[in-house]
Amino acid sequence: MTKRIGEVILSFTNISLSFGGVNALTRIGFDVKEHEIRAIIGPNGAGKSSMLNVINGVYHPQQGEIVFRGKARRGMNTYESAKSGIARTFQNIALFKGMSVLDNIMTGRNLKMRSNFLLDALYWGPAQREEIAHRKKAEEIIDFLEIQHIRKTPVGRLPYGLQKRVELGRALAAEPAILLLDEPMAGMNVEEKQDMCRFILDVNDQLGTTIVLIEHDMGVVMDISDRVVVLDYGKKIADGTPDEVRANQDVIDAYLGVAH
Amino acid sequence: MNYIKTVLAVLALAAAACSAYAQEQFIPAIDYRVGPYAAGGSGFFGGAIDYMTLVNMNGGINGVKLIWEECETEYNATRGVECYERLKKAHGGMSLVEPLSTGIAYGLLDRVGQDKIPMTTLGYGRSDAADGRVFPYVFPLITSYWSQAAAMIKYLGEKAGGLDKLKGKKIVHLYHDSAFGKEPIPVFEAFAKQLGFELIKIPVAHPGLEQQAQWLQIRQAKPDYVILWGWGVMNATALKSAQRNGFPREKILGVWWAGSEEDVIPAGAAAKGYTTMTFNTPGNYPLLDEIRKKVYGAGKGNLEDKARIGSVYHMRGITAAVLWVEAIRRAQDKFGKGKVMTSEQVRWGFENLNVDDARLKALGAVGMMPTVKTSCLDHEGSGATKVQQWDGAKWKSISPNWLTGDKAMIRKMVEESAAKYAAEKKITPRDCSKEG
Amino acid sequence: MQFFFEVLIAGLLSGVMYSLVALGYVLIYKASGVFNFAQGAMVFFAALTAVGLHDLGLSLWVAVPLTMAVMVVLGLVTERIVLRPLVAQPEITLFMATIGLSFFIEGLAQAIWGANVRGLDLGIDDVPLEWLLDHANMAISQFDLIAAAIAAAMVAALAIFFSKTKIGRALRAVADDHQAALSVGIPLHHVWGVVWAVAGFVALVSGLLWGARNGVQFSLTFLALKALPVLILGGFTSVPGAIVGGLIIGASEKLAEVFLGPYVGGGIDGWFPYVLALLFLLVRPEGLFGEKIIRRI
Amino acid sequence: MFYREAGQFKATYEEDSRIFPIRQDRIVFAFILAFAFLGVPLLASLGIVSNYTFTAILTPFLIFSLAALGLNILTGYAGQLSLGTAAFMAVGAFASYNFMLRIEGMPILVAFMLGGLCAAAVGIVFGLPSLRIRGFYLAAATLATQFFIVWCLTKVGWFTNYSSSGVISAQKIVILGYTFQSSMSKYLFVLAVVSVMALLAKNMVRSNIGRSWMAIRDMDMAAEVIGFRPIRTKLMAFAVSSFYCGVAGALFAYAYLGTVEPEGFNLDLSFRILFMVIIGGAGSILGSFLGAAFIVLLPIYLNVLLNFTEAATGIDLPSGLSSSVELMVFGSLIIFFLIVEPHGLARLWQIGKEKLRLWPFPH
Amino acid sequence: MSVANAAPEVAGLDTFPRLLLHHGRTQGARPATREKDLGIWQTWNWSQVANEVRALACGLAELGFRRGDNLAVIGDNRPRLYWAMAAAQCLGGVAVPLYQDAVAAEMAFVLQDAEIGFAIVEDQEQVDKMLEIKSQCPALGHILYDDPRGLRHYTQAGLQSLEEVMAMGRSHDHNQPEFIDGEISRGEPGDIAVMLYTSGTTGKPKGVCQTHSSFITAAKSGCEFDRLGPADSILSYLPMAWVGDHLFSYAQAMVAGFTINCPESGDTVMTDLREIGPTYYFAPPRVFENLLTTVMIRMEDAGRIKRRMFDYFMAVARRCGAEVLDGRPGVAAIDRFLYAAGDLLVYGPLRNVLGMSRIRVAYTAGAAIGPDLFRFYRSIGVNLKQLYGSTETCAAVCLQPDGEIKFDSVGKPAPGVEVRIAENGEVLVKGKMLLKEYYKRPADTAEAIDAEGYFHTGDAGFFDEDGHLKIIDRAKDVGKTAGGAMFAPNYIENKLKFFSFIKEAVAFGHGREMVCAFINIDMGAVGNWAERRSISYSGYTDLAQKKPVYELIRECIEKANAELAQDPMLCPSQVHRFLILHKELDPDDDELTRTRKVRRAFVAEKYAVLIEALYSDNDSQFIETQVKFEDGRSGMVSADLAIMDARVFPAQAQRKAA
């Protein structure tokens, strides 16, 4: 089983972000290569989520440079980020509660849809054809994530673990180049975690999606990531393969510090 | 009253479409007894029902009894239309309709034409409906807004010592910012041009709970007179605001919808000296006594508070009912005494009303209302008004005679406006010379 | 310039009156997250009850406390029958329920007291202050000044109530965090009941003042429309916001009507406060003193 | 209970994404439509359904349903609370009137469309604040629309063709030389318009545009992150919603009242329509109809019922009191329904349907 | 059904590939196979299926699959797996379906035994199993999979996706279109078509070789018997390796040309059943039983009015439902009316929610079905019937004809089948549908089929006066008590299992003074029962030992005893003492077969201690048992089991005599 890790597609240099004087991120720099699983770990409050928010344009760093596919960007907003192929999930599930699983996943396809509201209103010809073409894609994702049985269930009624899976599905529906996962395994039991790991690996493996994930649980991350960045108090303290990171004294200190 | 109402309700529900009421003439009471205008609604329809009760007690119209049914509209056009449609065919069909609401009247405007049911709009509604050629089924009886506006100018002129004395004077038109308040503006503007006074128009947004800004403007402008064209809470507020800004109430002349007890009582002492237009002369009349004695004496009165007998709205309701009954009577004269008139026949009655002093005397209402004589051309039939003043406890008439404004001018405006409406709606006006 | 000040002062004074009404909304919204549309109806009901009792021959000194008691009962019953079964429902549902409640209260008021309009004389003459009229040619009503004073006293009383009494502090805790309040053992329903009762009291005071000003009649329910822009501007949850918002709205609406109105045909004080509040919101979406809404993801 | 779904499987996505995937629903719906279009007129010709039913109940019910549908798109689907519905209706009515008046030979349906488009344009302008304001602040802000529009229509004489009364008198509805004059023909006209527009609305809410609205409603941040543009989505909701309200307003003037004043489109009306949405069920096309039926019919039946009770029991309440009691009962019923089912009649219907589908099992 | 819905009567259709081609030609546009996939029922019509099978067959041929080769088919019911069987048969090969839930080691035996060279499997899970045992099965050269998910990085030799093979086949077919037709024409009806491994209650599985002819005969008689035709449809959800599924979903579908429907997954069978609403349905009694239990449990939660309505109409159905279904005269008008009302309010909706609205014929077999259970389905209008057969007889020995339904018989011999009762009571069968042989086991074959051509079923039974066959037990299990009375453990156990609270029972009594039994309670039913009585429990073991539960079970046993007492033959078989086992009998612990039959000997040995305790005076006994968990780990379960006496009844006949 060999992985085809490619070139760097996303890199950060000197990223600093602060909120009203509080530094969330201080001069962070690392890169993400195509097709790899890149983890960002760190104790609570280390700035992991901020980092993710910087990547998909929710936050705009005060300093630093982001290069995505060879193009420098800083002020990219969330829409542009989505358009350029970055999809994400959220730490606290951000599904559309009033909609069914299928509809949630269909929303993920919105950027690929061309039809306008007038055609939608007629639900005829190109609009219907498009809707059905996308439905098929959505169904493939449903199949992939093994959530056939809840296809038409409103997401609000699903248990937590399944909601997380649906959220992953919604992100996948966008066929992203980079998938950002914000604590995909938070709050799950062992079995659900295993399932989620399997899905993440499958996504990476079968769709070739580059994955950047944040996780609190170090064990899981080390098993599935290719490279790991460790943040603590908004600063990068380590970067490397799981084995390298595991051996890093700063990391051990940081985690032990949290454990106390 | 209780018995009648009960019976009517049962009958209405049991067999609304039945035509077993051969000897009864049906008049609906599309009224409003809750909400911001409930006081007016209950007074007006109370008066009308009281009079109709009296007519029935006196043996009906040549033996034909009147019946009526109430329907609550909450002063809401949609519900008013619903009431109209619901009662249209009830009890053998309605003879006429009086919505006492501008909004509902507009909602019924087209419908009454189609259903051939005469609609009276006593002192409100479209002024141009006085042109019976274009509006055959609408009767703005006694006076329309335009006639009233003309009368107001005439009164203010008299007060100033002659119409020519109005030249150079300042008159504020303080109005409810709606179709109602805007209606007289063309008339005032025409007079301002003709008589050379300055007209200052100050609108008050609905509902008019707060008028400090307007009254400061008035204080700033220092007008000679303020015409208060208000409705509902706006009137009391205006009087209070006038007081707090030191503007004498004697110089305020209200429209008749600003001239009831309900408009001045909330203002308390601030209302004292305030003058308004009216088409009833305040006071007591044999007719009122008869109602007190016969109707209330028998416990069949519609008003909960007997003190309101003879109040402005009550008297106005009686006046309306008098005209309805007279129209039916007139129709019976032509189409057969003691028969129930169709609405079409009642319409003819309205178009050929002639309530002269003799008739009023017979009714015991001389002076209570002006004489009314209608025709195909003139659905208003009078145009005469009076001015009354609040003395702190009751209204007193301060114009000994019935006032009428510049009739010719108003008539010209009515015809122009009606013609425009006819053109817009593609209506061919009737030829009155061919009407019987 | 003198006229400008006259308008300004008049506006500020009316603003106080608006604040008084707005206060009732703020109290309930703050404590229970309910936008109580029925506050207008409560004002009407309170004023009508007081006047109705007065007209029955009771002196105001008896009628007002009696009305107060009625308002407390109304508040408690509302909490029990309407709000408690709807707890944890979406805001909009609660809002709609309070509209239903306002229909009920309006119907109840008229069923008990009839639809007739009534005057109310609190014994304060609503006439311009002679001295000012003579010396500055400014017509400032003494009633307005007294009403403003009463409103100020009320705010002060509420402030003391909130900060010094146990129930007041509980109320603030509830406003800050329902969960936290529950966990420290404050009976939520109890607090809500009190809030509704206090709101009833506020309704009574504003009902009396407005009733004395414009007469006691159904149109008092329209006061809600005057209070709304104040709330938007000041923030739904802030007592100082209601005061400052009221002053701003009162003043600006008068100034706009007087100085701007004539250019556009007048009658703009119906919508001007709303547009003003709207524009303000565009700058500060949570209102003047409202809590900043933090969007977390 | 009456559902026999076994064997109704879907072999294509077309079948699966139909509006009524269950055959029994299709049959019932077809029956309702047939009844509305053919049955009711037939009953009328037999004299069973009276003119009153057409003009005072069915026509306003349909028109209010359309307005509620419009508001439901905005509030129920896109989650933007609005209290300015009546204003958009007013724009539709007055704009249609002016198009008819000022352009010779203007077909009425086109005038309605243009009226709706004007409303949509106004909707977009007044929807702009929604980009920054949310919840009740937005609701209160939309009141600005309500008051401002009505003020404008009152103030600017041009809109009412300088009518001295400030009212407009709707022209006759003429299509291809046929004049919709009778109450039944007006009913059918309204029914056709409402049916088509309801279908279009249903199509919208089940396709991408509808999903974008619901996404913004449920979780705006996430919606943005997956590529929905909030500006576009919200304004689109305002535009479409206002379009519907505008057409409803035009129908209100043309097929119902005939002559309307700007005051007719007051805040009261906005509230009534909001009621329809909430009582009927936010986020449900069916709910708009159920809500409209509830709000239109309830007061009428209360009135009739109260009269009847008075008659039956022999207790004669004073007229004022019975009106007040009516209001109290109305208010109480609203509270009652909100407590029983805060998600509206549509949810109740949904639950009932689920129960029938699962019958005899409990839900 | 319409005239169109009749099985084709064309000569020469004597092998499955020929039948397939025939359907492809004559009713090419009609649906043949459906599969719930990607949210909808993907549908293939007969001509598409014929093409797919051609492609697959050509592909297999390309890979070297030859006449007489065996093709293993492993997986859930998937269209392509069914097609694979047909493809193998086109080439004159033999399809060998395996139980998909078997562990790798179990599969290894079959693969070795059948010298499998080609395996067509469903997915990664099965591929992994194949790879695991590949070293033990040197012949296994090709593993073809249907679902490529997760298999991207598998680089093992011989591993290929079906997709590829079919693509290969298509070009092969394109180049040599006559090849496959030639292969098909070389097929003989007497060729072995399929080899089904019997799980066997003892010993290693045996491969039962069935020819085209035998299965087609069996299928045809069934189709004619129940007038099955192209318009019918069936849900294929039972293991493909099981003879029943092969008969219904493959043989009969091929013969009658009806549609088979493959569910989305094992979890969604009930939903899929409801969606498809098949007209023809097969399920083992266990499934019907579970369904009924679900119905009853769900009705417990219903409101009072609804429950009373349900109970009332179910009583009506019990009274006259079966008669109405059979169209028998003598049902009172009022009952007919009530039944019609019940059909509107209860039975119709119930059939609908169970997915049985459209069922014309439903069969059950494989184990005895409780009369109550049987009556329930018939009374609500589901035409449920029993049949009798085994792997060796293509599951087609006896069928219940419409209108002649008896709850305790398995019906009359199918057309063309001869049935005889041997002296020892064993049922002997002869007919075209008999197996050809046990694969590579001539001795076993000779033992099973006697010189006269009768197959010894191993079941004990007898014909009743109407010519209906009644099966009592396995012939070898029928024993004698110490008192010399006949002891048919299965019969007793089944009686007990008819109670919804009892899931499994094992009766002992051979050579003993009295009959005693082990009981497994039904977790769902008893759990629900306990919850409603607010008896709290932590799990099966805990619940099983609750005093009220024992009392509950005792009542059930006493009811069964009372029934047994009715029959003089069986009266001595009443259960005197029983205990409730502390764990559920489990195939993973080898206590049950994969088809969930009790391995009597194994259980007797494993729980010898308990048996001794039953026959002693003890009222409790300690036991510790090793169990295997689902994830493969094992652990110990121990408990102190109570033993309870049950009342026995005097024999009816004796009482009468006395």
For chain E, give every domain's residue range: 16-31+41-226+238-256, 285-474, 479-657
Which pLDDT score, from 0 to 100, does residue E652 have? 62
Q: Which residues of C touch A58 (CB under 8 A)?
A: 297
In the predicted structure, residue A158 carries a pLDDT above the cut 80: yes
Q: Which residues of D touch A78 (CB under 8 A)?
A: 224-225
> What is the C-alpha separation between C260 and D108, in angstroms, rounded?
39
- Domain count of the fold of chain D: 2
Q: What is the token pair recorded at D111?
A: 């005038």
Which pLDDT score, from 0 to 100, does residue B70 have? 86
> What is the C-alpha separation between D331 and E498, in angstroms, rounded?
58
Which pLDDT score, from 0 to 100, does residue E119 have? 96
A52-85: b (≥16 Cβ within 10 Å) or e: bbbbbbbbebeebebebeeeeeeebebbebbebb
Smallest CA–CA distance, residue C115 to chain D, in Å, is 7
Which residues pair with residue E399 across a beta bridge?
A: E387, E412
pLDDT in tens, E495-550: 888 888 898 899 998 888 889 999 999 888 898 888 888 888 888 888 888 899 99
In the predicted structure, residue B267 carries a pLDDT above the cut 60: yes
Question: Does residue D362 sit at the E interface (CB-CB below 8 Å)?
Answer: yes
Residues in CB range of E377: below 8 A, 6 or more apart: E288, E292, E362, E384
Asked whether residue D181 falls in the same domain as residue D253, the answer is yes
Smallest CA–CA distance, residue C238 to chain B, in Å, is 24
Question: Does residue D309 sit at the B interface (CB-CB below 8 Å)?
Answer: no
pLDDT in tens, E147-156: 988 888 888 8
**Could you tell me if E351 and E277 are in contact, meaning their C-beta atoms sit under 8 angstroms apart?**
no
In the predicted structure, residue B5 carries a pLDDT above the cut 60: no
D151 and B205: CB-CB below 8 Å?
yes
Instruction: Look at residue B430 and tell me if it is in a domain.
Output: no
Instruction: Look at residue D363 and tell me if it is in a domain.
Output: no
D129 and C99: CB-CB below 8 Å?
no
Please state whether the peptide bond connecting residue B207 to the residue before it is cis, i.e. omega within 30 degrees of 0: yes
Instruction: Look at residue D152 and tell me if it is in a domain.
Output: yes
Report the relative pairing of strands B138-139 and E455-463 from DSSP bridges: unpaired
User: Residues of chain C with pLDDT > 90: what percent?
Assistant: 24
Domain that includes residue B93, residue range = 2-143+285-374
* Contact call for E and C: 3+ CB–CB distances under 8 Å: no
3-state secondary structure labels for all residues of chain C? CHHHHHHHHHHHHHHHHHHHHHHHHHHHHHHHCCCCCCHHHHHHHHHHHHHHHHHCCCCHHHHHHHHHHHHHHHHHHHHHHHHHHHCCCCHHHHHHHHHHHHHHHHHHHHHHHCCCCECCCCCCCCCECHHHHHHHCCCCEHHHHHHHHHHHHHHHHHHHHHHHCHHHHHHHHHHHCHHHHHHCCCCHHHHHHHHHHHHHHHHHHHHHHHHHHHCECHHHHHHHHHHHHHHHHHCCCCHHHHHHHHHHHHHHHHHHHHHHHHHHCCCHHHCHHHHHHHHHHHHCCCCCCCCCCCCCC
CA dihedral (E495, E496, E499, E503) positive or negative:
negative
E316-331: b (≥16 Cβ within 10 Å) or e: bbebbbbbbbeeeeeb
Domain that includes residue A226, residue range = 1-78+177-187+208-260
- Which CATH number, 3.40.30.10, 3.40.50.720, 3.40.50.12780, 3.40.50.1820, labels domain E16-31+41-226+238-256? 3.40.50.12780
- For residue B88, give the CATH number of its domain: 3.40.50.2300
Smallest CA–CA distance, residue C162 to chain D, in Å, is 25
Instruction: Look at residue A149 and tell me if it is in a domain.
Output: yes
Question: Does residue D258 sit at the B interface (CB-CB below 8 Å)?
Answer: yes
* pLDDT tens, N- to C-terminus, chain D (363 residues): 788 888 899 999 989 888 998 999 999 999 999 999 999 999 988 888 888 888 889 999 999 999 999 999 999 999 998 999 999 999 999 999 999 999 988 999 999 999 999 999 999 999 988 888 888 888 877 888 899 999 999 888 899 888 877 788 888 899 988 999 888 999 999 999 999 999 999 999 999 999 999 999 999 889 999 999 999 999 999 999 999 999 999 999 999 988 888 888 988 899 999 989 989 999 999 999 999 999 999 888 888 888 888 888 877 777 778 888 888 998 998 899 889 888 889 999 999 999 898 888 887
DSSP strand E in B142-265: where?
170-176, 198-204, 225-229, 252-254
pLDDT in tens, B53-104: 999 999 999 999 999 988 888 888 888 988 998 888 888 889 999 999 888 9
Asked whether residue A130 falls in the same domain as residue A72, the answer is no
Smallest CA–CA distance, residue D137 to chain B, in Å, is 23
Smallest CA–CA distance, residue A132 to chain D, in Å, is 6
Residues in CB range of C94: below 8 A, 6 or more apart: C33, C34, C35, C83, C86
B107 and D259: CB-CB below 8 Å?
yes
pLDDT in tens, C170-219: 777 776 666 666 655 667 777 788 888 888 999 999 999 999 888 888 88
User: From E155, which residue of chain A is nearest by alpha-carbon distance?
Assistant: A1
D50 and B89: CB-CB below 8 Å?
yes
The CA radius of gyration of chain E, in Å to the nearest whole number, is 26
Asked whether residue A141 falls in the same domain as residue A111, the answer is yes
Closest Cβ opposite residue B13 in set D155, D261, D307: D307
Question: Does residue A205 sit at the E interface (CB-CB below 8 Å)?
Answer: yes
Residue in the block written with tokens 């049935």:
E419
Asked whether residue D17 falls in the same domain as residue D119, the answer is no
Instruction: Look at residue A164 and tell me if it is in a domain.
Output: yes
User: From A53, which residue of chain C is nearest by alpha-carbon distance?
Assistant: C297
Asked whether residue D21 falls in the same domain as residue D112, the answer is no
By the 10 Å C-beta count (0-12 exposed, 13-18 middle, 19+ buried), B397 is classed as middle
Q: Tell me how many degrees the CA angle A211-A216-A218 measures, rounded to the nearest 5.
A: 85
Asked whether residue A171 falls in the same domain as residue A181, the answer is no
Instruction: Look at residue B413 and tell me if it is in a domain.
Output: no
A148 and E271: CB-CB below 8 Å?
no
Closest Cβ opposite residue A121 in set D14, D200, D225: D200
Mean pLDDT rounded to a whole number for chain B = 89
Asked whether residue D131 falls in the same domain as residue D9, the answer is no
Report the relative pairing of strands A235-240 and A227-232 from DSSP bridges: antiparallel
Mean pLDDT rounded to a whole number for chain A = 88
Question: Does residue D11 sit at the A interface (CB-CB below 8 Å)?
Answer: no
**Could you tell me if E209 and E70 are in contact, meaning their C-beta atoms sit under 8 angstroms apart?**
no
pLDDT in tens, A46-79: 888 888 889 888 888 888 888 988 888 777 788 8
pLDDT in tens, E3-13: 345 444 566 78
Q: What is the ipTM of this complex?
A: 0.86
| E105 pLDDT tier (thresholds 50, 70, 90) | confident
CA dihedral (A109, A110, A116, A122) positive or negative:
positive
Residues in CB range of B204: below 8 A, 6 or more apart: B174, B175, B176, B177, B181, B211, B214, B230, B234, B238, C267
D207 and A127: CB-CB below 8 Å?
yes
CATH topology agreement for domains E16-31+41-226+238-256 and E285-474: yes
Instruction: Look at residue B25 and tell me if it is in a domain.
Output: yes
Question: Does residue A148 sit at the E interface (CB-CB below 8 Å)?
Answer: yes
Instruction: Look at residue A196 and tell me if it is in a domain.
Output: no
| C262 pLDDT tier (thresholds 50, 70, 90) | confident
With H, G, I as helix, E, B as strand and everything else as coil, classify residue B202: strand
Does domain E479-657 fall under CATH 3.30.300.30? My reply is yes
Q: Which residues of B touch C269 (CB under 8 A)?
A: 205, 210, 213
Instruction: Look at residue D18 and tell me if it is in a domain.
Output: yes
D13 and A171: CB-CB below 8 Å?
no
Which pLDDT score, from 0 to 100, does residue E591 have? 85
Asked whether residue A59 falls in the same domain as residue A92, the answer is no
For the residues B327-347, what does the mean pLDDT come to? 94
Smallest CA–CA distance, residue A93 to chain C, in Å, is 9
Instruction: Look at residue A220 and tell me if it is in a domain.
Output: yes
User: Residues of chain A with pLDDT > 90: what percent?
Assistant: 38
DSSP-derived secondary structure for E242-308: SHHHIIIIIIIHHHH--EEEE-S-GGGHHHHHHHH--SEEE--HHHHHHHHHHHHHHHHTS-HHHHH
B177 and D164: CB-CB below 8 Å?
no
Which pLDDT score, from 0 to 100, does residue E62 have? 93
Q: What is the token pair recorded at C22?
A: 């707005």
A58 and C296: CB-CB below 8 Å?
no
Does domain E285-474 fall under CATH 3.90.1150.10? My reply is no
Asked whether residue B273 falls in the same domain as residue B317, the answer is no
In the predicted structure, residue C296 carries a pLDDT above the cut 60: no
Residue D344 phi, psi dihedral angles, 5° rounding: 95, 170
Asked whether residue D77 falls in the same domain as residue D8, the answer is no
In the predicted structure, residue B10 carries a pLDDT above the cut 50: no
User: From A59, which residue of chain C is nearest by alpha-carbon distance?
Assistant: C297
pLDDT in tens, B372-410: 999 999 999 988 999 999 998 999 999 888 999 999 999
DSSP-derived secondary structure for B206-219: SS-S--HHHHHHHH
Instruction: Look at residue B411 and tell me if it is in a domain.
Output: no
Which pLDDT score, from 0 to 100, does residue C183 have? 59
- For residue A170, give the CATH number of its domain: 3.40.50.300
Domain that includes residue D121, residue range = 50-358
Which residue of B178, B306, B414, B420 is the best one to mutate when testing the D interface, meaning the one whose CB has the most D CBs within 10 A?
B178
- Domain count of the fold of chain B: 2
**Could you tell me if E194 and E96 are in contact, meaning their C-beta atoms sit under 8 angstroms apart?**
yes
Which pLDDT score, from 0 to 100, does residue E200 have? 60
Question: Does residue D215 sit at the A interface (CB-CB below 8 Å)?
Answer: yes
Tell me, what amino acid is at E598? V
Asked whether residue B139 falls in the same domain as residue B151, the answer is no
Smallest CA–CA distance, residue B109 to chain D, in Å, is 7
Asked whether residue A63 falls in the same domain as residue A183, the answer is yes
Tell me, what amino acid is at E466? D
Instruction: Look at residue B245 and tell me if it is in a domain.
Output: yes
C92 and D278: CB-CB below 8 Å?
yes
> What is the C-alpha separation between A209 and A172, in angstroms, rounded?
9
By the 10 Å C-beta count (0-12 exposed, 13-18 middle, 19+ buried), B433 is classed as exposed
Asked whether residue A38 falls in the same domain as residue A11, the answer is yes
Which pLDDT score, from 0 to 100, does residue E181 have? 92
Q: Which residues of D touch E277 (CB under 8 A)?
A: 5-9
D259 and B417: CB-CB below 8 Å?
no
Question: Does residue A173 sit at the E interface (CB-CB below 8 Å)?
Answer: no
Question: Does residue D273 sit at the A interface (CB-CB below 8 Å)?
Answer: no
Instruction: Look at residue A93 and tell me if it is in a domain.
Output: yes
User: Residues of chain E with pLDDT > 90: what percent?
Assistant: 48
Residues in CB range of E615: below 8 A, 6 or more apart: E512, E513, E514, E516, E577
Chain E residues within 8 Å of chain D (Cβ atoms)? 34, 39-43, 273-278, 295, 298-299, 301-303, 306, 309-310, 344-346, 348-358
Closest Cβ opposite residue D258 in set B17, B110, B186: B110
Which pLDDT score, from 0 to 100, does residue C108 have? 94
Closest CA relative to residue C211, chosen from C6, C16, C17: C17
With H, G, I as helix, E, B as strand and everything else as coil, classify residue A231: strand
**Could you tell me if E401 and E319 are in contact, meaning their C-beta atoms sit under 8 angstroms apart?**
no
CA distances from E327 to E222, E336, E390, E402 (A): 22, 11, 31, 10
The residue ranking higher by pLDDT, E632 or A203, is: A203
C274 and D148: CB-CB below 8 Å?
yes
A121 and D204: CB-CB below 8 Å?
yes
Instruction: Look at residue B183 and tell me if it is in a domain.
Output: yes
Which pLDDT score, from 0 to 100, does residue C291 have? 63
Asked whether residue D88 falls in the same domain as residue D226, the answer is yes
With H, G, I as helix, E, B as strand and everything else as coil, classify residue D89: helix
CA distances from C247 to C11, C238, D159, E212 (A): 7, 14, 35, 96
Asked whether residue B391 falls in the same domain as residue B264, the answer is yes
Question: Does residue D13 sit at the E interface (CB-CB below 8 Å)?
Answer: yes
In the predicted structure, residue E658 carries a pLDDT above the cut 80: no
- Domain count of the fold of chain A: 2
